[in-house]
Amino acid sequence: MIPPVPSPHLVPFDRPFRLADAPTAPPKSGLTGKKAKKELEDVREELADLQRVLWADRDNALLVLFQARDAAGKDSTIRNVFRGVNPAGVRVTSYGVPTEREREHDFLWRHVLDLPRRGTIAVHNRSWYEEALVVRVHPGILAGQRQRLPEDADAFWAQRLRSMADLEDHLARNGTTVLKFFLHVGHEEQARRLLDRLERQDKHWKYNPGDLDERALWAEYDHAYEDALSKTSTASAPWYAIPADDKPYMRLTVAQIIVDAMKAMKLSWPDADPDDAEAFDAHKAHLREELGG
């Protein structure tokens, strides 16, 4: 198991997490704007190099989960952080409303199908946590899953979160590093971004008329997020609450945490098979002869 990356944004394992205690703006000492964008270029190069070794080594895998409120910047963060990484070794999956077939299975089933193979990185844009966030705020969704909210609702949601944490612990024990990012956007900043989507024709496609309905449920989502992050931030699958009001800072911080976690894997280029290595000298001599050397 890879130890959690030290960070001021690491959600604690031993006490309740409160969103009010987590900033949405970057710290004064944090890189923002053009400086953060420039630094991100260097961190991306590190990430690309590490991904090549991960692909060759094939002993480890990386699962990166993103959760956030509307307009927090999940899509752009994924695009900016993983730009330049070999697409053969990275798979990004976005999750919307479950299909009829998916609803016929348990709530984790569709996500398990998209877990990373050894040597690869899987990025989940939204994740199984939707089942304890959106579904918790809108429990009527459970009817489509052939379920109903029992009288002891808190125990029901605790069981769902326990199932998620159990799966993540299992993955960590079996060579998959799990990193979870909550992109924490402020109430006022979200309003500005939603307004921007309405005022710009090239962003109309991003706007959902239901966004304001969800925004009106801010306090309900606060409660759902606090409970989910408090109960599932663990040493084997930590949560990081990243300030999202400044996008360059957010992207750089996410990228650096991923790079640090991959460095902790102690990746190395694999040794050649002994039987193959014995033939290397002869093959090198043959190719040099072909090339006239």
Has domain 19-290 been given CATH number 3.40.50.300?
yes
**Of 36, 17, 11, nearest to 253 (Cα)?**
36
For residue 37, the number of C-alpha atoms closer than 13 Å in the C-beta half-sphere is 5
N residues, the chain: 293
For residue 272, what pLDDT is reported? 82
Tokens of 137: 């705020």
pTM score, whole prediction: 0.95
- Give the CA distances from residue 209 to residues 73, 74, 75, in Å, rounded to whole numbers and listed in that order: 18, 19, 19
Side chain identity at residue 232, one-letter code: T
- Give the CA distances from residue 69 to residues 196, 238, 261, in Å, rounded to whole numbers and listed in that order: 16, 19, 25
Tokens of 141: 């969704």
**Of 17, 272, 49, 47, nearest to 161 (Cα)?**
17
Domain extent listing, the chain: 19-290
Side chain identity at residue 286, one-letter code: H
Tokens of 267: 């990746």
Dist CA 63 CA 267 (whole Å): 16
For residue 2, what pLDDT is reported? 82
Dist CA 152 CA 247 (whole Å): 40
**Of 18, 28, 26, nearest to 244 (Cα)?**
26
Side chain identity at residue 130, one-letter code: E
Q: Where are the alpha helices (DSSP H) in 58-178?
A: 74-81, 100-103, 109-112, 134-137, 153-173
Could you list the pLDDT tens digit for every one of the 293 residues in the chain?
788 998 999 999 989 999 999 999 999 999 999 999 999 999 999 999 999 999 999 999 999 999 999 999 999 999 999 999 999 999 999 998 899 999 999 999 999 999 999 999 999 999 999 999 999 999 999 988 888 899 999 999 999 999 999 999 999 999 999 999 999 999 999 999 999 999 999 999 999 999 999 999 999 999 999 999 999 999 999 999 999 999 999 999 999 999 999 999 999 999 888 877 778 988 999 999 999 86
Tokens of 184: 């924490």
For residue 293, what pLDDT is reported? 67
Count other Cβ atoms within 10 Å, centred on residue 277: 10
Dist CA 161 CA 225 (whole Å): 11
CA angle 163, 164, 166 (to 5 degrees): 65
Dist CA 66 CA 74 (whole Å): 7
For residue 286, what pLDDT is reported? 92
